[in-house]
Amino acid sequence: MVGYVVYGRSSFNQLDEIIAPHRIEGKPMIFLVDHFFEDKPFLARIPIRGNDQVFSADVTHEPKTAYVDELADHLKEKFGMVSGIIGIGGGSTMDLTKAVSLMMTNPGSSADYQGWDLVKFPGVYKVGVPTLSGTGAEVSRTTVLTGPTKKLGMNSDFTPFDQIILDPELTSNAPVNQRFYTGMDCYIHCIESLTGTYLNEFSKSYGERALELCRKVFVKKDHWDDESDDQLMMASYAGGMSIAYSQVGVAHAVSYGLSYLLGIKHGIGNCIVFDKLEEFYPEGVKEFKFMVEKNKIDIPQKITRGLTDEQFNTMINVSLGMKPLWENALGKDWEKIMTKEKLRTLFEKL
Ligand SMILES: NC(=O)c1ccc[n+]([C@@H]2O[C@H](COP(=O)([O-])OP(=O)(O)OC[C@H]3O[C@@H](n4cnc5c(N)ncnc54)[C@H](O)[C@@H]3O)[C@@H](O)[C@H]2O)c1
Ligand SMILES: [Fe+2]
């Protein structure tokens, strides 16, 4: 779990004070900031001291193992070691920060650690400051990376942040569509966790609370205000805690295949898939469609039209590789239920 959590409007102002005890003489703090903030006044609020450095995190594409290795190698070459890494941004920046921190102390390439419990050593001190709410990446024990052969996280006890700062003010300027797609990541986490076979009281307690907050924001309310940002940030936290002790399900397994082949981003990819999952999550999909309409969001259609057999097979193989997700969704006999043919039909609907 995350070591320390600070929540509240303007809590970002405490960053300087929070990281001060973790500064090591002569070693910089590295601020990895989502490129959205590159030319924004927000940059002036970053508490730079001594030889600290601000790096822009290029999140045009979701994090790749090659990019993680490049950042970590650059930092090692330039500074030897750093005091810590502070990630400020959406889920992609959260994941990049966690992965770079781990690769400062673990040998080889981040691709070597894609899987479960492969990471050998704790990373350097790492802090997460989310600026989008929904992924739960701020609390999870994984960092999702696309590598040479797979899209899979570095799932380990060393992966969670040492500290997170949850300041809902930082999410206030997110574009409406992006906010919805990332928010739906949380909603879908809840549905997949609460209907899954891995469910337990821990996951249920957090999942139900997160779902209730998502509904307040996207179902009940008819405008967006500060309270919506506050609630969605806590929904993301609770949703992340829920899957920490269970798993996601069909939407994520299928969306990973889409993202691997077509580079479709996580939030929107989940929405494209979930829209077609009535068979597995009838109530959730019904409510999802209501939220899409109410919030006037477009969900892209027919994105797999015209793909070749080989391309379909690539997506199917990536997707079926996510065994724990399928087992959570469909039970131990999932392979008998979700055959390659059935999955092909599902991909063709997207
Ligand atoms: N580690 C985990 O447990 C976990 C869980 C779910 C998703 N993820 C990962 O999270 C990523 C998706 O994250 P995301 O949905 O937060 O999107 P993102 O981080 O990819 O960002 C999407 C876009 O929003 C911009 N952005 C970020 N903050 C903004 C702000 N405040 N205002 C305006 N624009 C802003 C970014 O620059 C980017 O263009 C994927 O890479 C996915 O794999 C990780
Ligand atoms: Fe997700």
Q: What are the tens digits of pLDDT across the range 274-312?
A: 999 999 999 999 999 999 999 999 999 999 999 999 999
Asked if 249 and 196 touch (Cβ cutoff 8 Å), the reply is yes
Check whether 218 has a pLDDT greater than 90. Answer: yes
Question: What distance in Å separates the CA atoms of residue 32 and residue 48, rounded to the nearest whole number?
Answer: 12
Q: Is 174 in the pocket of ligand 1 (CB under 6 A)?
A: yes
Query: What gap in Å lies between CA 13 and CA 45, rounded to an integer?
Result: 8
Query: Measured on CA atoms in the order 295, 214, 165, 145, is the torsion positive or negative?
Result: negative
pLDDT of residue 150: 82
Residue 205, SS3 per DSSP: helix
For ligand 2, the distance from its centroid to the CA atom of residue 131, given in whole angstroms, is: 16
Residue nearest to atom 30 of ligand 1 (CA): 174
Report d(CA 330, CA 169) in Å as an integer: 39
The one-letter amino acid at 145: L
Question: Quick one: tokens of 336?
Answer: 């008998």
DSSP string, 105-171: TS-S-GGGG-EES---S--SEEEEEESS-SS-TTT-S--EEE-SS-EEEEESTT-S-SEEEE-GGGG
- Measured from the CA of 240, which atom of ligand 1 is nearest? 3
For a mutational test of ligand 1's pocket, the pick from 88, 95, 101, 173, i.e. the residue with the most ligand atoms closer than 8 A to its C-beta, is 95
- Using a 6 Å cutoff on CB, does residue 180 contact ligand 1? no
CA distances for 6 relative to 42, 85, 328, angstroms: 19, 17, 32
Q: 50 C-alpha to center of ligand 2: Å? A: 37
128-185 tens-digit pLDDT:
999 999 999 999 999 999 999 888 899 999 999 999 999 999 999 899 999 999 999 9
Q: Is the CB of 89 under 6 A from ligand 1?
A: yes
Q: Is 314 exposed, middle or buried (0-12, 13-18, 19+ CB in 10 A)?
A: middle
The answer, yes or no, to whether any atom of ligand 1 lies below 6 A from the CB of 135, is yes
**Of the bound ligands, which one is closest to the alpha carbon of residue 181?**
1
- Given the CA of residue 143, which atom of ligand 1 is nearest to it? 1
Q: Which among 151, 348, 144 has a CA at the least distance from the CA of 261?
A: 151
Q: Please give the Cα distance from 199 to 15 (Å, whole number).
A: 36
Q: What is the pLDDT of residue 151?
A: 84
- Report the separation in Å between the CA atom of 336 and the middle of ligand 1, taken as the mean of its atom positions: 34
Q: Is 242 in the pocket of ligand 1 (CB under 6 A)?
A: no
Residue whose structure tokens are 């939407």 = 251
Cα distances (angstroms) measured from residue 71 to each of 68, 75, 101: 5, 6, 10
Strands 144-146 vs 151-155: parallel, antiparallel or unpaired: antiparallel
133 pocket-lining for ligand 1 (C-beta < 6 Å) = no
